[in-house]
């Protein structure tokens, strides 16, 4: 299955992936609209910055899928290998945040729910927004 991977040798910690992700999943028409009037749409990818190393982290759609198993609302499910969240069902209890070994589930406080990477199934044909927006091809979408 194709997944998003980050090559930490090339990640610049520019954080653009976070903005492209947030905008793509905000439902707004474009980046400016997504952030208009101080809005802060949630990014499902998060950049970790170190002294010399940086990398972005997003859902691994891992084998164990503890988030799906532990979801109290039945909101998380697996669609063709992709862990997806039904935002109407999610109550934002945080059990998945507690369970995710990669720290890839993020709270969407404004909407009392969580958000997580679904490989942009709903927003883009082909490449996820973070991959398209990475200026140094540190983020790739590929089979490994």
- How far apart, in whole angstroms, are the C-alpha atoms of residue 35 and residue 87? 21
**Residue in this structure with the two tokens 């972005």, named with its chain if needed:** 56
Cα-to-chain-centroid distance, residue 72: 20
Q: Is 2 in the site for other proteins (CB under 8 A)?
A: no
Size of interface with other proteins, in residues (CB under 8 A)? 62
Site string for other proteins, 15-54 (x = CB under 8 A): xx--xx--x------xxx-xx----------x-xxx-xx-
Which value, to the nearest 10 degrees, does the dihedral of the CA atoms of residues 66, 42, 4, 52 take?
A: -100
d(CA 105, CA 96): 7
Residues in contact with other proteins by the rule CB under 8 A: 3, 5-10, 12-16, 19-20, 23, 30-32, 34-35, 46, 48-50, 52-53, 55, 57, 60, 66, 69-70, 72-74, 88-89, 91-107, 109, 112, 133, 135-138, 144
């Amino acid at each position: 299955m194709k997944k998003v991977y980050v090559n930490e040798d090339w990640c610049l910690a520019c954080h653009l992936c976070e903005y492209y992700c947030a905008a793509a999943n905000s439902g707004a028409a474009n980046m400016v609209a997504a952030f208009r009037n101080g809005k802060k749409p949630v990014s499902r990818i998060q950049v970790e910055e170190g002294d010399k190393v940086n990398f972005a982290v997003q859902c691994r759609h891992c084998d164990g899928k503890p988030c799906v198993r532990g979801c109290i609302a039945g909101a998380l499910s697996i669609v063709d290998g992709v862990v997806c969240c039904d935002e109407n069902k999610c109550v934002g209890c945080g059990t998945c945040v507690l369970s995710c070994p990669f720290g890839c589930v993020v709270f969407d406080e404004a909407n009392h729910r969580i958000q997580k990477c679904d490989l942009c199934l709903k927003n883009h044909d082909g490449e996820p927004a973070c991959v398209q927006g990475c200026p140094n091809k540190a983020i790739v979408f590929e089979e490994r």
